Each structure stands twice: as C-alpha cells, then as structure tokens.
Amino acid sequence: MHKVLICDDEEEIVSFLKKELEYDGYVVEAAYDGAEGLKKISEASYDVVLLDIMLPVKNGLEVLREIRKLSALPVLMLTARKDVFDKVAFFDAGADDYITKPFDTLELLARIRRVLKRSDNNNRPQGITLDEPGCRMMIGQKAVPLTKTEYDIFAYLYHHLGTVKSRDQILTAVYGGDYFGDSNSVDVNIKNIRKKIAAYGADHTIETVRGRGYVLRNGVCDET
C-alpha cells in the first residue's frame, strides 16, 4: 500500500485529496506548510509527495530542492501557474511531474500511478532480491551469506530505496531503540555488506552521504 504526503496550505483541497486518495487505496498524511512537510519527510517514509508551489514558511520549490539533497523521493507539483518558465523551474529543481489547478481527479490519480511506476523501475536494485521469509539476500539464484545484523540493515535500506538514512535511524530500525553501543557498528556492517555484494558481482551498492548517513541506489560506492 503506497503512502502519500500532501503538502498544501488549503485545507479544503487537502481534505478533498485525502478522501479521494484513501478511497483509491492510498495511505495519506498532510502538511500545511513547507517546514512541516520537510519535517514529516525526515521522520517517516513516503512513496510520493504532492507538493503545492505556494506554501507558507518554505515555498514548494524550496522544499523540493531540500528533498533532492537527500532523496529521490517522487514529487508531483500542484500549481496554479501555467507559465512555461515555471514548469521548467519545477523540472530543473527535480520534480517528477506537475499538474495545474484546477485538476481532474482521474488525471491526478493517473499521474501518481505513472510517477510511482517510474520510481519503482528506476530505484529497484537490479539483480538483488530479498527472500524475506528466509531472511536472505539473493543475487540471481545465489544467497549472499549475511549475518542477521547485516541482513536487517540491508533490508531496511532496501525498503527505503533512494532515501538517506542516518546511523541512528538504522540502529533504531534494527534494534528497536535498545542498542547502547557505538554507532560506528553501522559503518562496520555496511562495509562488510559492500564487500559481499561486490564479491557476487552486483552492479549497485550502498552509498555514503557525508555527514548524513547511507542510501541504497545504483551508482558508485563512496567508501567511508
């Protein structure tokens, strides 16, 4: 079930969208200004953000630029602007799509489905799958010999593809807040995971984002 964050300061629009999206099977949360939207994105995982351009505190373009510093999270802009230069600015800042207000609900739903499908195709690691009942990472038909902690860390990043996660977030996800050791254990485990992935010839890895944490996506590994 996909999770949507609506960032819009017009309560009537938010209420309407929430009702329509929930009817279509989405889990929906809302933020009514740009700063609140960024806070929610930093604290939880979403599959797509519907982002109004005219937001208080931080406008939509500012929010979008902040998102793109950390994540490939799909963003669909909601805007009353029709000028081509505004649309170009959205895409240059990293928007996945936009729709102009007032919009048809069926068109919006279709655009959300398209963005989600594109994101899933772009972000899914090629060649790696998780055998979750067996707690195994699979590369092709081969099981990679991960420890339980290594598997739990990789599975957490795998389920949050394209989103930067801090060491504290990873530790909380793996140990449930009951870990009191050195956070550098995350670095050690990720280094081991990288070596094992490379040994099996996979073409993607876990990337280090300096000062922020780790993210799983295609690309060259930035070793710690």
Euclidean distance between CA atoms 187 and 124, whole angstroms: 23
pLDDT at position 221 is 36
pLDDT at position 191 is 92
pLDDT at position 203 is 61
Domains of the chain, earliest start first:
3-123 (3.40.50.2300), 128-217 (1.10.10.10)
Could you give the count of Cα atoms lying within 13 Å of 60 in the half-sphere of its Cβ?
26
Compute and round to an integer the Cα radius of gyration of the chain. 19
Euclidean distance between CA atoms 104 and 50, whole angstroms: 15
Residues in the chain, total: 224
Nearest to 3 by CA among 146, 104, 133, 116: 116
21 close to 4: Cβ distance less than 8 angstroms: yes
| Phi (first) and psi of residue 3, to 5 degrees | -110, 130
Per-residue pLDDT tens, the chain, 224 aa: give them.
789 999 999 999 999 999 999 999 999 999 999 999 999 998 888 989 999 999 999 999 999 999 988 778 899 999 887 777 777 888 889 999 999 988 999 999 999 999 988 876 555 555 677 888 888 888 877 788 899 999 999 999 988 888 899 998 999 988 886 666 666 889 999 999 988 888 777 666 788 988 889 998 754 333 33
pLDDT at position 128 is 79
